[in-house]
Amino acid sequence: MLPTLTTLQKRKPHIYDPSWPCPQCNSSPETLNHLWTCPYILPEFSPFNTFKTLLLDLRTVCLEKFLSATPLKPLLDSFVAEFTALDCWDCDPPSPSYLGLTRGLIPISLTGFLGTYFSSSVIWSILDTPLHDFHFDLYVQIWLCCSVFFHHWESAQGITNKMKSSSVGPSPTLRPSSQISPDFLTPPVRISRKKNTIKLSYAWHITSCKKVWTGTNSPSK
């Protein structure tokens, strides 16, 4: 799990006050979903604006690839309109399918629709690379920027690396040593974790996509 502020607040409430909202917009808790939908006041730095742009790019790239692929049966005239109207592209407000894409979950609505025209191997081969690129861009364009911002925000709060590496909290009796998780002992420095985060997210993305793909989400239904 990405070390969002809400995660850090659960791990180290003596450093990260549980009442602190997202430091970028000051309006909501910084959860995983909020990371991609934060309405930061400066448009050029708004994660939500960036996310919407990346998602629409993903939709365009996928649509072009499917239009040039070999279908099982001729595409109906309504194919483009139906594809672009799928709920996974709904940004305002963000649909569950839309947020699921950030976690590598391919919506049933998408695979179900495509499955009426294409074989599962064609669908998977087309979605694979654009989704991979989408996740890479999410982490580079949103997560990395948020991490840089967060690092400066921590400094402004007087939170030092020494404090973060300390396992001593105000209520040690609540955390007997045998129950302290490795995560609790690891300094939650978000930038230094980034490379591993990307690798982990890729592995997780591919695994979860294939899990959905081979599960009840068969496009042949």
Choose one: 31-39, 99-107, 147-155, 213-221; the region binding Zn ion (CB under 5 A). Answer: 31-39
Query: Judged by CB under 5 A, which of 2, 3, 20, 25 binds Zn ion?
Result: 25
DSSP assignment string, the chain: ----HHHHHHH-TTTS-TT---TTTSSS---HHHHHH---SSGGG-HHHHHHHHHHHHHHHHHHHHHTS--SSPPPTTHHHHHHTSGGG-TTTTPHHHHHHHTTPPPHHHHHHHTTTS-HHHHHHHHHHHHHHHHHHHIIIIIHHHHHHHHHHHHHTT--HHHHH----S-GGGS-GGG--HHHHS---TTTTHHHHHHHHHHHHHHHHHHHHHTT--TT-
**Residues binding Zn ion: number (CB under 5 A):** 4
Query: Judged by CB under 5 A, which of 5, 15, 22, 123 binds Zn ion?
Result: 22
| 145 near Zn ion (CB under 5 A) | no
Nearer to Zn ion (CB atom), residue 42 or residue 168: 42
Q: Tell the smallest beta-carbon distance from residue 17 to Zn ion (Å).
A: 16
| 38 near Zn ion (CB under 5 A) | yes
Choose one: 19-27, 97-105, 178-186, 210-218; the region binding Zn ion (CB under 5 A). Answer: 19-27
Choose one: 38-46, 52-60, 62-70, 171-179; the region binding Zn ion (CB under 5 A). Answer: 38-46
Q: Tell the smallest beta-carbon distance from residue 7 to Zn ion (Å).
A: 15
> Which positions lie near Zn ion, rule CB under 5 A?
22, 24-25, 38
